[in-house]
Structure 1
Amino acid sequence: MRVQKRGFHSFLRGNTPRAFALSCAALSLGSTAYLAYPSPVMAQEFQFSTVEIQGNGRVSTESILNFAGIGRNQGVSGGELNDAYQRVLASGLFESVEFIPQGSKLLIKVTEFPTVSRISIEGNSKVNDDVLSSVLQTQVRRAYAPSTAEQDAAAMAEIYASKGQLAATVTPRIIRRNDNRVDVVFEVTEGKNVEVERLTFVGNRQYSNARLRRVLETKQAGLLRFLVGRDTFAEDRVNFDKQVLTDFYTSRGFIDFEVLNVAAEFSRERDAYFLTFNIREGQKFSFGEMTTVSEIDGLDTADFQKEINIRSGQTYSPVAVENAIERIEILATKKGIDFLRVEPRVTRNDRERSLDISFALVRGPRVFVERIDIEGNATTLDRVVRRQFKTVEGDPFNPREIREAASRIRALGFFSDARVDARAGSGPEKVIVDVDLEETSTGSFSFGVNYSVSSGANLIASFSESNFLGRGQRLAFNLTTKLDDGNLSFNFVEPAFLGRDVAFGLSANYGFSAPIYADHESRDIFVSPSLTFPVAENARLRLNYKVGTNLLRNPDDNDLPATIQADVDAGEVFEQSLGYTYSYDTRRSGVNPNAGVKFEFSQDIAGFGSDVEYLRTTATVQGDTTLFNEEVNLSASIKGGMIEGRGGMDTRVSNRFFTGTSLIRGFEPGGIGPRDLDDTELALGGKFYAVASLETDFPLGLPEEYGIKGGLFLDHGALWGLDDASSAGGSEDISWRTVVGASVFLKTPIGPLRFNFTKALNKEDYDVEQNFDLTIATQF
């Protein structure tokens, strides 16, 4: 009798259990007279005085006998013999197994699975080998197992499915070699991407489909579908979109918002998805009465009430509530009140559609942070992660602070995944905070081109590292060059100088330029260290020192205005200055997610033994908001600046202001302001400027995935003032220019494009207009 398993598939293909049972029955009927006429009360048994193993090389005889579990001279029934066979086969070590009873001897023949000598992946182009190999369990110099190879193929197909390529298939193949070795080849058939052909919403009344599509990570396939990377269907991405959509509505006061379901339907050709988000918006709620109550004896709530910067009638936002809680807890820490917890107790008023919130000050449990365990940071130093915690070992445990620390760790951008959890410590009043990290790439090198009508094309090469040596430091080199000028810059930032919330920066620059509005050349070399630190919740102060040289040259002996020629004759000048910049910005961290304000004021004073002395002052005020259910973005800004010579010195042309597209559009760089009208008509720069701008961008009714938007803008400003105005026009009296324009914004894979079409309503005869401007920047 033979019990055999052939090939790489189950024994059932060659010998079914039924066939095996019949064979055992035949054996029992024909072996001995006793077996042919068994006792009605005794089971059929075999006894083997010898068990011989043949065909094994890597697997020891003892291991096979252990799998079989058959002892010498031990009674074995037909069923137990079948069980022994199945155990040897289930070990997964053999390609074929044969059980051959030979009287008192049992011969077990095995053929071991071959050894894997090489693994290759073929046919993949959209996912590289490293990503696919990361899920393989089949390994070189290990025994080949068909079931493991099938699992590997399924895992590879799952990677493709996560990227929206549901039609991809992976088939394992083997190529037999000598010495019982095989090469394993995973043949990949990628097929076409399964795109999201249509992305729609049901139940949305407040916001349009186009506005909601901009929120989602998943995009709808459009005109540039062959270049868009997020228009394929991926289940994980859809789950993320459900949470993003919920956060979007909740932050705008829709506290009852719910994603009922997401319907994903195949097209008839089964090459695209129709994705529908079925949502329920609910009613929009605003803040009602804000109060503070204390459940701690002797604690006055008056000071804590002042920390609630929420106005009644303001649109409800959970971010505003979190900010108020944080401010209250910070005040409690300053007052030396430990274990204070703030519980926001909400009273819902459906008639007024408002939420009254009572911030209850309660005594929390006396729980301390025993330690903070950080794992997974192979490159990033522990201290970079620890400084994101305002809590250290031994401090009172604050769950809200732990959640915020987790958000700050993720915001670093150093990790692809960051999980922060708390678990019980060594005692009932101790907690251990676990930080599990997965690092990601933080450096980049890029080479590219940017272009604008005014400055032409420039080649760009840059290197940046946001986590230099795992210290959380930022390092960057940038090179910009074209045929007649270039610029090389270096920037370094230590975000936690001396372990505090102070950023130390060091920048250096070497630049050589020939401005298109001048007939001279300028070379600048400087080094500038700086310190930046917070002075209020949304305000920062930057202190900087700058030292360097400036050289103006006239290599072509051009006829230059007297005010510029004097600067050229002065040769190379040494310059050093001290300055500061105060900035206040609520556009990202303010209570209102749809509006914000930015204010910036800076001054630099040059002198202290340098060849030039001046005081330069600039200021900017900008406000951003959205209109018409966030379909339209509106921005208004006022900018101004002045520079005055000190110690009886005049200002140099290299220090004065020149207008460009960043100030007043519709004119060439140096196109307005003081100009030499007697001879050269060159721009001379101005000592003062003031510009007011109003700008809006809006959808044009095209599908959002095309990335095309329109815009309108209005600039009104002037540039004026010179130390010596004897031969210059536009230097003494303020001459206001007004420009209106229209823009077309286009997002492309090679970079963002902006087309500006302008018309000057007020200008001077000697101004140089530029009615069209195209800017593009790309990296590759």
Structure 2
Amino acid sequence: MTDRKLGKGALALISALAVAVPVGMAATPAAAYVFSNVRIEGNQRIEPQTILSYLDLPRGQDVSAGTLNDALQRLQSSGLFESVELVPSGGTLVVRVAEYPTINTIAFEGNKRLKDANLSEIVKSQSRRVYSPAQAEADAAAISQVYASQGRLAARVDPRIIRRSGNRVDLVFEIREGDVTEIERIGFVGNRAFSDRRLRNVLQTKQAGMLRTFIRRDTFAPDRVPVDEKLLTDFYRSRGYADFRVQAVAPELARERDAFYITFQIYEGPRYTFGNITTISEVPGVDAAEFQQQNRVRRGEVYNPTIIETTIRRMEALALRKGLNFVSIEPRVTRNERNQTLDLTFALTRGPRVFVERIDIEGNTTTLDEVIRRQFSTVEGDPFNPREIRNSAERLRALGYFSDVQAESRPGSSPEQVVVDVNVEEQPTGSLNFGVSYGVNSGVGFNASLSEKNFLGRGQQVDLSFATGSGTKSSGLTFVEPYFLGRNLKARAQLWYNTTDRLNSDYNTRTVGLLTGIEFPISENGRLELRYKLSKDTLFDVEPPHVDPESGEVVGSSPILFSEQGGFFTSALGYTYSYDSRIAGLDPLTSYRLRFSQDFAGVGGDVKSVTSTLYAGIESRAWRPSVTMLAEFEAGAVHMLDDQNSRFMSRFTGNSKIRGFEPNGFGPRDLEAPNQDALGGNYFWALRTELQFPLGLPEEYGITGGLFADAGSVWGLDNRIGANETEVDDSMKIRASVGASIFWTTPIGPLRFNFAKALKKEDYDEEQSFDLTISTKF
């Protein structure tokens, strides 16, 4: 449309010049026109001076037709006018313009997936501003791009205008969203060691399948291609294929634009194992033998770059502990193509003497600089260690405060100095959650929580929660300061109020309390917490044995529980030592956790006791990366002081200790009590083992399996008041169970199905062969 108007204007101008130029000038090389006045017609909002500035034509001088045509094009391309004409009229140049209309309103039609408010943020056209066809087309393209990012490549957006009075228009974007353009097939060329199906499970991008209604990773996104290439590379190289590379990725769009076909062309190469492993030192005075002890690479083991990286980190950590600055570990690999082995040498080398001049932080509008800086063990003036800078960036990402963290170095003010630039992109850290939970025993429950993990940008955590279940109510408030007094001290304060009103027992409980504690590191992987706890625990509504007047049966609970009802205060000082190998992250395949706690009650209050608990756990993927092996052991003991007897609220129960038994389903019992309520015990131990593994289903279905075997016991009572001691079973009798689990990650939350069989139990134990748990937030 613009080109046609330009042609008409130029043609009219040339025709007018042919009439206006005197005959005597016909012999000149080109027609020229001289004007002394300019008359502007049609402008309403645009000032005449603005139009004259675009014309830029001299008065009283010869002006050729080409010069006038250039002025016409300048006016037209200014974007201010819908049409422009230049008409010579004697000594006056008449400029006739039609201004673009003003946008009255902007509307969207046909959109369902995206709301009007979201689309309004995308378009640059604005109401009460001049309408621009070019901007409207750009807005339509931007909307189409948003739909394309959601997999709707067939979406079409057409800008339309509706003429209104007063030179106004309504701008309407007509949207046809179209269907999701799914990935119909993902194929591979060059793979021999692994099938297409196995490799598809590795990718973040998924092929459309049965659950295409719920899974949105089966749409093509170009930004996922580099991620998929890295996932494939990591997958192959962790299995010994050191030469693996992705040669090309070819996405093809179907002619109907309703499906994608993606082909990965790969080169596997040979599978390598480690050959000779040595450690040498090229730094005078540094013995390589001590560093060799940190080696985790074994001869004959399948090549895995993660193991090499772990060894380098261990060696560099040792160098830092020994105060060896500017020492780096250089892995040198020698390929033996004949026997497909890799000889590996860890060389201790002296790096350049470079120091950190300063650390510049950008992008944090809410988070304080000190919150970011405390994740860096390197400060200004320290030796520059690129690996430590990368580790610091990983720690920042792990905080969950930022959607992206980039830490890069650049030359400083001298060759011996570098500047570290830290660029962060903040993300919301607060959440308001409403949830539903379900358990076979607990039934349907509802919960609500308000959480902020970067309170006021100080890195503090605040949690407020409420939950209800079948016969239970709980609420709590937690505040955590991870760097108390500006040091690596984690201070926390907790308040809680919990009640139970269970239908399957003849008693109820209520607990209210507060806890304050401070935690600090005592080794690279170990931490110690010191705390104080004050609580009031109440056991009430205990029914003593009696005859039900309606049924005539004897009902009620044990005299032991009846004698223990009432409320009592517990004031205790305690500590917890914890060890977690994941803190240093030196072995990514296997992690260990250890926790030992003791609480000493008697600093005021009604209870004098020592409560000790122990937990030890191991989780490993060393056998196979896709298979997780877990083992947990825990135990506890309550020792009463000053001849006091333990009470039900301070004893241990078997809840969540052994699968295959109901809550309070095993442990000490008063066998003469009508309902044989669980009494709890002064001691317990439990051993749980589990194996989690894929079931061969496509990874996008989110279904995996597991096998488990548990054993343990709860025993020991002090109080036998009112009970026949010969009928109270509080001995240490082992319970054991085995079972299978199905894990299913669904759009409504993670599901776990447990099928258990008790192998060793007592006659009065209460079994639970099936358990289903679901938890979701919205």
Compute the TM-score of the two structures, normalised by the length of structure 2: 0.90
Regions of 4+ moved over 6 Å:
none
**Secondary structure at 1:607's aligned position in 2?**
strand
Partner of 1:279: 266
Partner of 2:549: none
- Contact 1:29/1:35, CA 8 A, preserved across alignment: no
Q: Aligned ranges for residues 696-775 of structure 1 at < 5 Å? A: 696-724=691-719, 727=725, 731-775=729-773
Partner of 2:93: 106
For 2:161 and 2:732, locate their aligned partners in 1 and report how far apart those are by CA, in whole Å.
83
- Contact 1:717/1:736, CA 8 A, preserved across alignment: yes
For 1:504 and 1:641, locate their aligned partners in 2 and report how far apart those are by CA, in whole Å.
26
Q: Aligned ranges for residues 550-565 of structure 1 at < 5 Å? A: 550-554=537-541, 559-565=556-562
1:362 to 350, 354, 373: 350
1:416 to 395, 403, 423: 403
Partner of 2:668: 674
Shift of 1:552: 1.1
2:19 to 30, 35, 47: 30
> Greater shift after overlay, 202-211 or 98-107?
202-211
- Contact 1:587/1:598, CA 8 A, preserved across alignment: no
For 1:612 and 1:207, locate their aligned partners in 2 and report how far apart those are by CA, in whole Å.
63
2:585 corresponds to 1:598:
no
Shift of 1:343: 3.3
1:613 to 608, 618, 622: 608
1:217 to 176, 197, 204: 204
**Secondary structure at 2:51's aligned position in 1?**
helix
Matched residue type, 1:413: G
Partner of 2:551: none
1:576 to 572, 580, 589: 572
Matched residue type, 1:611: D
CA shift in 2, pair 1:673/1:483, >3 Å: closer
- Contact 1:601/1:620, CA 8 A, preserved across alignment: yes
For 2:692 and 2:530, locate their aligned partners in 1 and report how far apart those are by CA, in whole Å.
35
CA shift in 2, pair 1:406/1:140, >3 Å: farther
Partner of 2:548: none
- Contact 1:587/1:624, CA 8 A, preserved across alignment: no
* Structure 2: gaps of 5 or more residues: 546-555
- Contact 2:12/2:87, CA 8 A, preserved across alignment: no
Partner of 1:3: none
CA shift in 2, pair 1:562/1:284, >3 Å: farther
For 1:557 and 1:109, locate their aligned partners in 2 and report how far apart those are by CA, in whole Å.
103
For 2:11 and 2:50, locate their aligned partners in 1 and report how far apart those are by CA, in whole Å.
29
1:740-773: per-residue Cα shift (whole Å, max 9, x none)?
Answer: 2222322221112222222222221111112221
CA shift in 2, pair 1:293/1:711, >3 Å: closer
CA shift in 2, pair 1:691/1:362, >3 Å: same
**Secondary structure at 1:668's aligned position in 2?**
coil
- Contact 2:353/2:383, CA 8 A, preserved across alignment: no
For 1:63 and 1:428, locate their aligned partners in 2 and report how far apart those are by CA, in whole Å.
54
Partner of 1:486: 473
1:205-232: per-residue Cα shift (whole Å, max 9, x none)?
Answer: 5556565445433233333322223232
Shift of 1:178: 3.8
Matched residue type, 1:363: G
For 1:364 and 1:515, locate their aligned partners in 2 and report how far apart those are by CA, in whole Å.
69
- Contact 2:527/2:578, CA 8 A, preserved across alignment: yes
Q: Aligned ranges for residues 68-147 of structure 1 at < 5 Å? A: 68-129=55-116, 131-147=118-134
For 1:310 and 1:627, locate their aligned partners in 2 and report how far apart those are by CA, in whole Å.
13
Shift of 1:97: 1.0
Shift of 1:577: 3.4
Partner of 1:521: 508
Q: Aligned ranges for residues 606-645 of structure 1 at < 5 Å? A: 606-626=601-621, 630-645=625-640
- Contact 1:699/1:710, CA 8 A, preserved across alignment: yes
Shift of 1:252: 4.7
**Secondary structure at 1:722's aligned position in 2?**
coil
Shift of 1:592: 4.6
For 2:25 and 2:605, locate their aligned partners in 1 and report how far apart those are by CA, in whole Å.
118
- Contact 2:570/2:601, CA 8 A, preserved across alignment: no
Shift of 1:115: 2.8
CA shift in 2, pair 1:638/1:207, >3 Å: farther
* Structure 1: gaps of 5 or more residues: 1-8
CA shift in 2, pair 1:360/1:487, >3 Å: same
CA shift in 2, pair 1:35/1:290, >3 Å: farther
Q: Aligned ranges for residues 43-442 of structure 1 at < 5 Å? A: 43-129=30-116, 131-204=118-191, 212-266=199-253, 270-350=257-337, 351-366=339-354, 368-442=355-429
- Contact 2:356/2:381, CA 8 A, preserved across alignment: yes
Matched residue type, 2:487: R
For 2:333 and 2:117, locate their aligned partners in 1 and report how far apart those are by CA, in whole Å.
51
Matched residue type, 1:438: E
1:403-441: per-residue Cα shift (whole Å, max 9, x none)?
Answer: 222222222222222232323334444433222222211
**Secondary structure at 1:67's aligned position in 2?**
helix
**Secondary structure at 2:233's aligned position in 1?**
helix
Shift of 1:512: 0.9
2:648 to 648, 653, 663: 653
For 1:333 and 1:631, locate their aligned partners in 2 and report how far apart those are by CA, in whole Å.
34
For 1:287 and 1:778, locate their aligned partners in 2 and report how far apart those are by CA, in whole Å.
46
CA RMSD of aligned residues (A): 3.0
**Secondary structure at 2:477's aligned position in 1?**
strand
Matched residue type, 2:657: L
Partner of 1:4: none
CA shift in 2, pair 1:389/1:120, >3 Å: farther
- Contact 2:454/2:461, CA 8 A, preserved across alignment: yes
2:690 to 687, 695, 698: 695
Q: How many residues were matched structurally?
A: 763
For 1:150 and 1:181, locate their aligned partners in 2 and report how far apart those are by CA, in whole Å.
18
Partner of 2:550: none
- Contact 1:376/1:436, CA 8 A, preserved across alignment: yes
CA shift in 2, pair 1:403/1:627, >3 Å: closer
For 1:445 and 1:429, locate their aligned partners in 2 and report how far apart those are by CA, in whole Å.
49
- Contact 2:532/2:571, CA 8 A, preserved across alignment: no
- Contact 2:661/2:765, CA 8 A, preserved across alignment: yes
CA shift in 2, pair 1:360/1:446, >3 Å: same
Compute the TM-score of the two structures, normalised by the length of structure 1: 0.90
Matched residue type, 1:771: S
CA shift in 2, pair 1:724/1:352, >3 Å: farther
For 1:591 and 1:314, locate their aligned partners in 2 and report how far apart those are by CA, in whole Å.
16
For 1:334 and 1:140, locate their aligned partners in 2 and report how far apart those are by CA, in whole Å.
65
For 1:589 and 1:523, locate their aligned partners in 2 and report how far apart those are by CA, in whole Å.
41
For 1:35 and 1:407, locate their aligned partners in 2 and report how far apart those are by CA, in whole Å.
84
CA shift in 2, pair 1:630/1:398, >3 Å: closer
**Secondary structure at 1:86's aligned position in 2?**
helix
- Contact 2:363/2:424, CA 8 A, preserved across alignment: yes
For 1:520 and 1:201, locate their aligned partners in 2 and report how far apart those are by CA, in whole Å.
64
CA shift in 2, pair 1:343/1:131, >3 Å: farther
For 1:673 and 1:202, locate their aligned partners in 2 and report how far apart those are by CA, in whole Å.
60
Shift of 1:309: 5.0
- Contact 1:587/1:596, CA 8 A, preserved across alignment: no
For 1:605 and 1:209, locate their aligned partners in 2 and report how far apart those are by CA, in whole Å.
60
> Greater shift after overlay, 763-772 or 330-339?
330-339
Matched residue type, 1:13: R
> Greater shift after overlay, 551-560 or 80-89?
551-560
